[in-house]
Structure 1
Amino acid sequence: MSFINLEYFLFVAVGLVVYYIMPKKIQWVVLLLMSYVYYLSFKVEAVVYIIFTTLVTFAAGLLIEKAETKGKEWLAANKETIDRDQKKAFKAKLKKKKKALMLAAVVLDFGLLAFVKYTNFFIENINGIIGNRINAIDILVPLGISFYTFQSVSYVIDVYWGKVKAERNPFKFALFVSFFPQIMQGPIGRFDKLAPQFFAPHKFDLTRIEYGLQRIFWGFFKKLILADRTAGYVNNVFVNNYQAFNGFYVIVAVLMYCVELYADFSGGMDIVIGTAEMFGITMDENFKRPFFSKSIGEFWRRWHVTLGEWMKDYIFYPFSLSKAFNKIGKFTKKHFKNKHVAQTIPICISNLLIFFIVGVWHGAAWKYIMYGMYNGVIIAFSNLCKPLYKKGLEKCHINADGRVWTVVQILRTFILVNIGWYFDMALSFRAAIEMMINTVYQISFKPFTDGSIFTLGMARSDFLIVAIGCVIWFVVSYMQEKGIRIRDAVSKQILPVRWALYLALVFSIIIFGYIGQTQGFIYAQF
């Protein structure tokens, strides 16, 4: 039941009616039932995976909180009979027990994810060393397993840290793990933000329905008009016969993949957020106009925001506070006279660790690991060279905050991001390198003059539609970047103007959208 099928619309419409006519105390039950019906509509067998993750994480949360409660009770009962050292030893033992419970849940959750997504990757690499002696295993990859696993792990760690109270109702917790709009491709939610919304009463609000539909149709615009239109050209060049293309064929393919990926993923997020909004649930934004970024670091703070925040909160900060990080810091201070370099190297190592994990998260292939490391190395290098950049700008009398330099930085970041797409889209790491080489080989305008570039899945009219669509998208994004709340502005217009805009959006999707020829969402199998 894909987001862009009529079945999904009917499913959500019926669900909304039932949701708002039911007693408010059991509205969350409607969401839970809808979530499992939605999940089962893809693959019945896959429900075993999500139930396993739900039960493991739920049980771990309860056990951690139970250990904490019993520990406090014991300390209160024995405060007169134990000394300071005994109290300290007991607290250390209690922390160790809670940590063991948390780590057990993390290992089981990530262990299942690793088994499902990476078993055949390891078999393939072992076979590369010892010869093809091990057969690949046919493993069912459940829908959205990376997203609900990361979301579940964040919960159990938050319980361990004492940031949230453990949920005592297994069915309520099951809703947090399986909420149907986000199960396919995120965003990765946090329990403290979502749980209060799931279990609070929600009144029918026509404005919320209107805003939700606005967001959904904007997502359709991106997905059906832009993403699916560019997919044919991208597949023909990157996948079907990549060795046959060079020069502008490849450059255009990379640019079209940039449009496809961004429109597909952010369009999917619009549909997710819009659907949730109609049920009274506010999801975290996953994109904040990333192509206005002035650096790769800023790009990743704007692109797939919830994944970046997850990595920062659960990988970067814990590692930065660890004994290993402290040792690295002492080592760099001792061996590097330059204060900036000594302070920055430990942070660079943390960033490289994060982007290695980001690469692994994207998929079981060396190309994804290289994709992560490519971004991590650029960010690390930029951090190390900040003083040099500053001196260079001063010597060249360039205003670092000026409009011209801002545009230069945005264009530079755009180029670097597009180079990274080679690793993301190519069939393999080797294919990515070959395509990079082919990009600068025999560059000429011949593909445009002889029309051959218009025979690879996109006609002239398709390129024109994509160009116009991107301009519209850019204008909307620019207005948002300037702080204009588009949906509020539209809703304040008089009724004829408002409906003219709505109908223009809907009819543009009907006329120009690839309805019936749509591709699946790229991130659906992550």
Structure 2
Amino acid sequence: MLFNSLHFLVFFPLVVGLYYGLPPRWRGALLLLASYYFYMSWRAEYALLLLATTALDYYSGVRMSRLPDKRQRRPWLALSLISNLGTLFIFKYFNFFRDAAVALAGTLHLPVGAGPALGLLLPVGVSFYTFQSVGYIIDVYQGRLAAEQNFGRFALFVAFFPQLVAGPIERGGHMLPQFRREHDFDYGRIVSGLRLMAWGLFKKVVVADRLALLVNPVFNSPRQHPEGPLLVLATLAFTFQIYGDFSGYTDLARGAARVLGFDFNLNFRQPYQSASVPEFWRRWHISLSSWFRDYVYIPLGGSRVAPARAYFNLLAVFLISGLWHGANFTFVVWGGLHGLYLVLSTWARPAREWLAQRTGLAAHPGLRRGLGVAITFVLVAYAWIFFRANTLDDALFISRHLLTGWQLNGHQVATLLLDFSQHYRPELAVAAFAVGLMLAVEYFGSRHSPQAWVAAQPWATRWVGYVGLALLILYLGIFNSTSFIYFQF
């Protein structure tokens, strides 16, 4: 079931109505049933996998809570990690590593057979709910969190439908206390949640899905569009498409949770306003980057080690992060690029400060930040090529041809773009308008609280805005139930 589908349009109001109509003691059971129905609408049998993960981690957490020290808890931690990561490996990575091993053996001329491939369909959301459950188990093992003793409450923590399939990846310490509280009907909170959902829907169906019409023809057949201007246009379009798509999903998830009385952590903070790649990762997919920081980077030693080891830790984390996104070398290279960016950013910090002093940029912080934002945007946009490309060969082809064709004069470049977009002219205009509106609202939101600002306006002004946004969604949106990009992870 997609947030941008008619199915959800019926499902969600029904759940909200029943939730507030039932006595508080039955609301948790309703949300758990609704969450499993939501998940089973994709593939019913994989709900058994979700249930098995939940049961094992619940039992492991309860057993660890009864043991006094980490040494005694360690077998239960190992059982949970092996089960969760093993499941993730079988469904998501087995064929990838099998093919890589066969290719390596062929390169080394070793007589190794390919062996059977697993024809398993990737369970939707498995990477997200696995990481959420693993984070809980590690927190219980470390003593940072008391194990949840109520199985139904823990099952709801793992399966809560607004964030089940694409995050944010929540922590037990943040969500479990909310599931223990009663949530009364609050008109202001519900309106706030619906506003956030409407904005998320706009970013998905108007921004992201319109941009997809420009992105897909180029990235799916890059050799048919080898001209640099077209490749740059498609790369820029995908840069905003993935932001509109994923942050739109997050807004829908956070808004739906808010309507029901729950608060999710912020997952995006205007990432394209970042003045450095490290800042970008403090603003983009915050729940995942903080998960890797707390459960991988810091246990590896973080930055509290020798510089060479710290650089290795950064690269390792981002290579793993790239692989988390998908069993394809394109994602590994994407993660490796960001790891390299971060290593170079850390290594070159003294040189940047020296250069800023020598050039006078240190005395102009606004100009310096603007330059940093522009450079960071270019680096991030270039890395998105590897994220979006279907194969590594396609990504390298696009990279090699980004600078070709720019010797044309302005009229020739414009003609080239218009010839390409002859079937997409409405999409170009709508996408440009939608991206501009999205960026303007996000820029305003970085300096003010949009929700508070909207709530402070007279009712007539608010409703003009609501109706205007609804009309933009209805007339400019694409309603073909296009899946969210991160659902494949």
CA distance in 1, matches of 2:398, 2:115: 31
What residue number does 1:63 align with? 63
CA distance in 2, matches of 1:28, 1:199: 9
Structure 1 residues 372-424: Cα deviation after superposition (integer angstroms, max 9, x where no partner): 11000111111011111111111112226621111110000000001101110
What residue number does 1:31 align with? 31
Q: What pairs with 1:79-478 in structure 2 (closer than 5 Å)?
A: 94-130=69-105, 133-242=114-223, 244-320=225-301, 329=305, 343-399=306-362, 402-443=365-406, 444=408, 445=410, 446-450=412-416, 451-455=418-422, 458-459=424-425, 461-478=426-443
- Give ranges in structure 1 of 5+ residues lacking alignment: 69-93, 330-342
Q: 1:500 aligns with which of 449, 456, 464?
A: 464
What residue number does 2:110 align with? none
CA distance in 1, matches of 2:13, 2:391: 42
Is 1:479 aligned with 2:444?
yes
In the TM superposition, residue 525 of structure 1 has moved relative to its aligned partner by 2.2
Given that 1:447 and 1:453 are in contact with CA atoms closer than 8 Å, whether structure 2 keeps it comes out as no
Structure 1 residues 26-55: Cα deviation after superposition (integer angstroms, max 9, x where no partner): 211111111011111110111121112111
CA distance in 1, matches of 2:476, 2:427: 9
CA distance in 1, matches of 2:364, 2:53: 48
**Amino acid across the alignment from 2:452:** D
**Amino acid across the alignment from 1:374:** L
Given that 1:249 and 1:447 are in contact with CA atoms closer than 8 Å, whether structure 2 keeps it comes out as no
**Amino acid across the alignment from 1:173:** F
**Amino acid across the alignment from 2:450:** I
CA distance in 1, matches of 2:61, 2:314: 29
In the TM superposition, residue 199 of structure 1 has moved relative to its aligned partner by 2.3
CA RMSD of aligned residues (A): 1.6
Given that 2:168 and 2:287 are in contact with CA atoms closer than 8 Å, whether structure 1 keeps it comes out as yes
**Amino acid across the alignment from 1:395:** R
Given that 1:230 and 1:458 are in contact with CA atoms closer than 8 Å, whether structure 2 keeps it comes out as no
In the TM superposition, residue 100 of structure 1 has moved relative to its aligned partner by 2.5
Partner of 1:399, secondary structure, is helix
Q: Structure 1 449/54 Cα, relative in aligned 2: closer, same or farther at 3 Å? A: same
CA distance in 1, matches of 2:436, 2:222: 31
CA distance in 2, matches of 1:498, 1:179: 31
Given that 2:210 and 2:430 are in contact with CA atoms closer than 8 Å, whether structure 1 keeps it comes out as no
Given that 1:250 and 1:435 are in contact with CA atoms closer than 8 Å, whether structure 2 keeps it comes out as yes
In the TM superposition, residue 300 of structure 1 has moved relative to its aligned partner by 0.9
Given that 2:222 and 2:398 are in contact with CA atoms closer than 8 Å, whether structure 1 keeps it comes out as no
Given that 2:5 and 2:481 are in contact with CA atoms closer than 8 Å, whether structure 1 keeps it comes out as no
Given that 2:222 and 2:397 are in contact with CA atoms closer than 8 Å, whether structure 1 keeps it comes out as no
CA distance in 2, matches of 1:203, 1:523: 32
How does the TM-score come out when normalised to structure 1? 0.88
Given that 1:228 and 1:514 are in contact with CA atoms closer than 8 Å, whether structure 2 keeps it comes out as yes
Q: Which has the larger Rg?
A: 1
Q: 1:514 aligns with which of 462, 478, 489?
A: 478
CA distance in 1, matches of 2:282, 2:48: 34
CA distance in 1, matches of 2:128, 2:459: 40
Partner of 2:482, secondary structure, is coil
**More displaced 10-residue stretch of structure 1: 3-12 or 504-513:** 3-12
**More displaced 10-residue stretch of structure 1: 157-166 or 446-455:** 446-455
Given that 2:197 and 2:256 are in contact with CA atoms closer than 8 Å, whether structure 1 keeps it comes out as yes
Given that 1:237 and 1:253 are in contact with CA atoms closer than 8 Å, whether structure 2 keeps it comes out as yes
CA distance in 1, matches of 2:301, 2:101: 33
Partner of 2:362, secondary structure, is coil
- Percent of residue pairs bearing the same amino acid type: 32
Q: Structure 1 63/255 Cα, relative in aligned 2: closer, same or farther at 3 Å? A: same
Partner of 1:440, secondary structure, is coil
CA distance in 1, matches of 2:183, 2:9: 21
**Amino acid across the alignment from 1:378:** Y
In the TM superposition, residue 518 of structure 1 has moved relative to its aligned partner by 4.1
Q: Structure 1 97/242 Cα, relative in aligned 2: closer, same or farther at 3 Å? A: farther
Given that 1:287 and 1:302 are in contact with CA atoms closer than 8 Å, whether structure 2 keeps it comes out as yes
Partner of 1:138, secondary structure, is coil
The count of residues paired between Structure 1 and Structure 2 equals 479
In the TM superposition, residue 181 of structure 1 has moved relative to its aligned partner by 0.7
Q: Structure 1 400/480 Cα, relative in aligned 2: closer, same or farther at 3 Å? A: farther
In the TM superposition, residue 130 of structure 1 has moved relative to its aligned partner by 4.7
Partner of 1:168, secondary structure, is coil
In the TM superposition, residue 5 of structure 1 has moved relative to its aligned partner by 1.0
**More displaced 10-residue stretch of structure 1: 407-416 or 309-318:** 309-318
Given that 2:214 and 2:427 are in contact with CA atoms closer than 8 Å, whether structure 1 keeps it comes out as no
In the TM superposition, residue 135 of structure 1 has moved relative to its aligned partner by 3.8
- Give ranges in structure 2 of 5+ residues lacking alignment: 107-112
CA distance in 1, matches of 2:385, 2:244: 17
Structure 1 residues 249-272: Cα deviation after superposition (integer angstroms, max 9, x where no partner): 100000111111110000011110
Given that 1:296 and 1:378 are in contact with CA atoms closer than 8 Å, whether structure 2 keeps it comes out as yes
Given that 2:361 and 2:367 are in contact with CA atoms closer than 8 Å, whether structure 1 keeps it comes out as no
Given that 1:265 and 1:521 are in contact with CA atoms closer than 8 Å, whether structure 2 keeps it comes out as yes
**More displaced 10-residue stretch of structure 1: 222-231 or 19-28:** 19-28
CA distance in 2, matches of 1:355, 1:407: 26
**More displaced 10-residue stretch of structure 1: 115-124 or 236-245:** 236-245
**Amino acid across the alignment from 1:375:** H
CA distance in 1, matches of 2:377, 2:363: 18
CA distance in 1, matches of 2:481, 2:419: 24
CA distance in 2, matches of 1:296, 1:402: 18
